[in-house]
């Protein structure tokens, strides 16, 4: 059985241009999955697109920094920044507060639940969870997310760690690669969380493209896909979009590169599909079906 690849676009709902790119890429069969921001400026437009594309897997892109909450501010005080209404705008500030024990896991659970319920109330069948800026690299974030996933019958979560073979390709800037390597020591703790270890909440064998964020040009994507193992299930994390006037109103480091990623996917995924033993393209909602097939095959082989 060939490897399987989830191609997931983050930031669904951020702008109409990001939404349009995600719809076009899915229609072109080069994008299988996306994660929706519950308080994104173009949330309603994203919901409309999701409901019109039932083969597109849609997860919840849980935002805990650099955004606005779905909960009443008084319900999540430890997550808020200086203005008392929005999240901490800096990822570094969030991490420092988290490591100092200043962020309540109960507040994380309440806010994640509010974001998930907003998607579900809009008719979205949530395939999985991930987080804006990969904040669930840290166990203090992952634990409440897994609790909410079980409570809401969400079957999967992003494995937020770059694979060593992918990191070894040397894509992205040196600082970015050092950061990705530094947090890899947290991977064992993630895998040992009971919901992950017991497969109550499914995940992949790893995520690729994290260190290449902002550098996912055609050549970079081609090299990543060429190095993809012939066995296992992986997620390619990407951020396609259109660099338009709506994006000018948003705080994001990814501007012109959203166009780059969009065109790279359109060029390289069809080329990959023509190769021998090309990976099977799936979304997170199909992980469970694969687990059933594996278990059935194992039983038959042992009979």
* Per-residue model confidence as pLDDT tens digits over 150-171: 999 999 999 999 888 888 887 8
Count of domains observed in the chain: 1
Per-residue model confidence (pLDDT) at position 293: 39
Residue 161 in contact with residue 187, Cβ under 8 Å?
Answer: yes
- What does DSSP assign to residue 125? -
Count the helices and strands in the chain (H runs, E runs): 13, 7
pLDDT over 50 (residue 290)? no
d(CA 63, CA 162): 20
Question: Which residues constitute the domain of residue 30?
Answer: 4-302
d(CA 236, CA 8): 6
Mean pLDDT of the chain: 91
pLDDT over 70 (residue 292)? no
The pLDDT tens digits for 43-95 are: 999 999 999 999 999 999 999 999 999 999 999 999 999 999 999 999 999 99
Phi, psi (rounded to 5 degrees) for 9: -95, 120
Per-residue model confidence (pLDDT) at position 289: 56
Which domain CATH number covers 114?
A: 3.20.20.370
List all residues 6 or more positions away from 290 whose beta carbon is below 8 Å from its beta carbon: 4, 233, 282
- What is the token pair recorded at 75? 């319900």
The pLDDT tens digits for 178-223 are: 787 778 888 999 999 999 999 999 999 999 998 888 889 999 999 9
Residue 272 in contact with residue 225, Cβ under 8 Å?
Answer: yes
pLDDT over 90 (residue 131)? yes
Residue 272 in contact with residue 278, Cβ under 8 Å?
Answer: yes
d(CA 213, CA 167): 12
Closest by CA to 183, choosing from 206, 209, 162, 213, is 162
d(CA 285, CA 27): 18
């Amino acid at each position: 059985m060939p490897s399987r690849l989830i191609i997931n676009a983050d930031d669904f709902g951020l702008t109409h241009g990001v939404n349009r790119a995600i719809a076009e890429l899915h229609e072109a069969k080069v994008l299988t999955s996306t994660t929706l921001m519950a308080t994104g400026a173009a949330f309603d437009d994203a919901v409309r697109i999701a409901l019109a594309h039932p083969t597109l897997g849609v997860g919840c892109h849980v935002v805990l920094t650099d955004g606005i909450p779905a909960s009443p501010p008084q319900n999540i005080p430890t997550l808020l920044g200086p203005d008392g209404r929005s999240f901490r705008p800096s990822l570094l500030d969030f991490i420092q507060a988290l490591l100092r024990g200043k962020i309540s896991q109960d507040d994380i659970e309440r806010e994640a639940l509010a974001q998930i319920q907003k998607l579900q109330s809009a008719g979205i069948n949530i395939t999985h969870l991930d987080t804006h800026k990969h904040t669930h690299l840290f166990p203090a974030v992952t634990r409440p997310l897994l609790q909410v996933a079980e409570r809401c019958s969400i079957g999967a979560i992003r494995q937020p760690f770059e694979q060593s073979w992918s990191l070894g390709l040397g894509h992205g800037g040196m600082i970015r690669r050092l950061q990705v390597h530094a947090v890899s020591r947290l991977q064992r703790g993630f895998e040992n969380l009971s919901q992950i270890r017991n497969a109550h909440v499914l995940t992949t064998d790893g995520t690729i493209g994290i260190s290449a964020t902002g550098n996912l040009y055609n050549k970079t994507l081609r090299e990543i896909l060429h190095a993809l193992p012939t066995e296992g299930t992986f997620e390619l994390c990407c951020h396609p979009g259109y660099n338009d006037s709506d994006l000018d109103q948003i705080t994001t480091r990814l501007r012109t590169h959203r166009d780059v990623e969009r065109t790279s996917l359109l060029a390289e995924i069809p080329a990959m599909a023509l190769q021998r033993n090309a990976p099977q393209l799936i979304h997170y909602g199909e992980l469970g079906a694969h687990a059933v097939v594996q278990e059935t095959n194992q039983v038959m082989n042992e009979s």
